[in-house]
């Protein structure tokens, strides 16, 4: 698959990968916050177009840090990352940021970081407006993203007035409206009620079916087989300790215990197959267009 963009030539050029090239190539990547301990250590990963990857790891294992690196917000403090044919260190330094961020969108773990406008609608419109899209197209994208997350009725509310789960849905809508090729989701189901959680699982499946590349950090083992083809496990020292199929990783009890993903005295986790109705919002799905 080739990711194509309207990249108007210049600095780092590519923004596309050819057949046989990974979308993200991480070589011996380390990240150390200033004055703090190492968050990521010796990470080697290749992520391919169209993959659905889940990042698993205990608190502090570096999942959010890794997503920030993949989003070009920060560059690695050691090693290198190429993303969509660009050097992430250069993107983090400001080069090609506009083009990069129309292709790669990150939903932050903390929605308060993502929501800064006077209203939810303004936040959802911010990205498309930055892209310079026509007013009608911006309106369509906002309506679709708000409907997809079931929050059309919150469009005129101030983000700070929303509940935690509503903020999360608004933050996701603000990335969906950009329609990026790569969607990075940091704990997308945290603080969502069960119905909204399964709506999000359904959304992730549809984005993947539409060819998007998805990389999702989560703690919720029950959704992993439904949203991933591949699971990368980080140790508490920020190292990759497993990289395999959901079935293989979730069946490895010793791995899950050592990575602090399950507690051995709690309960069994198997590969849980759920079949929930996904036409949620109590049958009032606001489906307008499509965010795909
Ligand atoms: N802004 C920061 N400044 C200094 N250290 C940080 C900062 N953000 C994270 N860290 C540290 O880096 C390490 C990795 O943090 P990170 O947020 O990437 O973990 P995580 O796997 O996302 O954890 P969680 O499951 O709690 O979200 C932790 O030790 C954390 O304390
Ligand atoms: Mg995190």
DSSP 83-113: ETTEEHHHHHTTTTHHHHHHHEEEE-SSHHH
Q: What percent of the chain has pLDDT over 70?
A: 86
CA distance 151 to 145: 9
Q: Is any atom of ligand 1 closer than 6 Å to the C-beta of 235?
A: no
- Position 281 scores a pLDDT of 45
Angle at 74 between CA 225 and CA 6, to 5 degrees: 80
- Position 59 scores a pLDDT of 94
CATH architecture entry for 24-283: 3-Layer(aba) Sandwich (3.40)
Calculate mean pLDDT across residues 32-44. 91
Q: Is any atom of ligand 1 closer than 6 Å to the C-beta of 57?
A: yes
Question: pLDDT tens digit string along 242-258?
Answer: 999 999 999 999 999 99
* Residue of minimum CA distance from atom 18 in ligand 1: 62
pLDDT at 83 over 70: yes
What is the 241 CA–ligand 1 centroid distance (Å)?
A: 18
Q: Is any atom of ligand 1 closer than 6 Å to the C-beta of 106?
A: no
Radius of gyration of the chain (CA): 19
For the ranges 2-6, 44-48, 89-93, 168-172, the lowest mean pLDDT is seen at 2-6
Better-scored residue on pLDDT, 195 or 265? 195
pLDDT at 11 over 80: no
* Residue of minimum CA distance from atom 24 in ligand 1: 59
CA distance 114 to 159: 10
Q: Is any atom of ligand 1 closer than 6 Å to the C-beta of 65?
A: yes
Burial code (b: 16+ CB inside 10 Å, e: under 16) for 84-103 equals bbbbbbbbbeebbeebbbbb
What is the 63 CA–ligand 2 centroid distance (Å)?
A: 5
Instruction: Tell me the CB-side half-sphere exposure of residue 205, using CA atoms within 13 A.
Output: 12
Q: Is any atom of ligand 1 closer than 6 Å to the C-beta of 60?
A: yes
For the ranges 7-21, 35-49, 159-173, 272-286, the lowest mean pLDDT is seen at 272-286
Atom of ligand 1 at shortest distance to CA of 40? Answer: 14
pLDDT at 208 over 80: yes
Paired tokens of 88: 């992430």
DSSP codes, 123-167 = HHHHHHHHTT--HHHHHHHHHHHHHHTT-GGGTTS-GGGS-HHHH
Ligand (nearest to CA of 55):
1
- Position 279 scores a pLDDT of 37
Selection from 217, 194, 219, 205 nearest residue 276 by Cα: 194
What is the 179 CA–ligand 2 centroid distance (Å)?
A: 23
Q: Is any atom of ligand 1 closer than 6 Å to the C-beta of 59?
A: yes
What is the 217 CA–ligand 2 centroid distance (Å)?
A: 7
* Domain boundary assignment for the chain: 24-283
pLDDT at 14 over 80: no
DSSP codes, 167-200 = HHHHHHHHHHTT--SEEEEESTTTT--HHHHHHH
- Position 282 scores a pLDDT of 43
CA distance 104 to 207: 13
Better-scored residue on pLDDT, 13 or 118? 118
């Amino acid at each position: 698959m080739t990711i194509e963009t309207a990249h108007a030539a210049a600095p780092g050029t590519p923004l596309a990968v050819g057949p046989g090239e990974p979308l993200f190539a991480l070589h011996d990547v380390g990240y150390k916050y200033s004055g703090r301990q190492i968050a990521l250590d010796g990470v080697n990963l290749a992520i391919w177009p169209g993959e659905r990857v889940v990042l698993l790891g205990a608190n502090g294992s570096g999942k959010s840090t890794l997503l920030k690196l993949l989003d070009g917000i920060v560059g690695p403090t050691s090693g290198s990352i190429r993303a969509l044919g660009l050097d992430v260190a250069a993107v983090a330094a400001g080069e090609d940021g506009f083009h990069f961020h129309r292709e790669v969108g990150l939903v932050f773990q903390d929605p308060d970081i993502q929501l800064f406008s006077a209203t939810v609608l303004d936040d959802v419109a911010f990205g498309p407006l930055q892209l310079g899209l026509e007013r009608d197209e911006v309106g369509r994208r906002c309506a679709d993203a708000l409907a997809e997350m079931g929050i059309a009725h919150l469009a005129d509310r101030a983000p700070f007035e929303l509940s935690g789960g509503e903020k999360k849905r608004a933050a996701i809508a603000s990335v969906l409206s950009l329609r990026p090729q790569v969607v990075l989701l940091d704990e997308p189901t945290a603080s969502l009620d069960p119905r909204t959680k399964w709506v999000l699982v359904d959304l992730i499946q549809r984005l993947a079916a539409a060819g998007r590349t998805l990389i999702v950090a989560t703690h919720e083992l029950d959704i992993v087989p439904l949203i991933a083809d591949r699971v990368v496990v980080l140790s508490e020292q920020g190292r990759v300790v497993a990289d395999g199929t959901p079935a293989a990783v979730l069946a490895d009890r010793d791995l899950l215990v050592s990575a602090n993903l399950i507690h051995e005295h709690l309960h069994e986790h198997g590969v849980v197959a759920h079949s929930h109705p996904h036409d949620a919002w109590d049958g009032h799905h606001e489906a307008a267009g499509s965010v795909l």
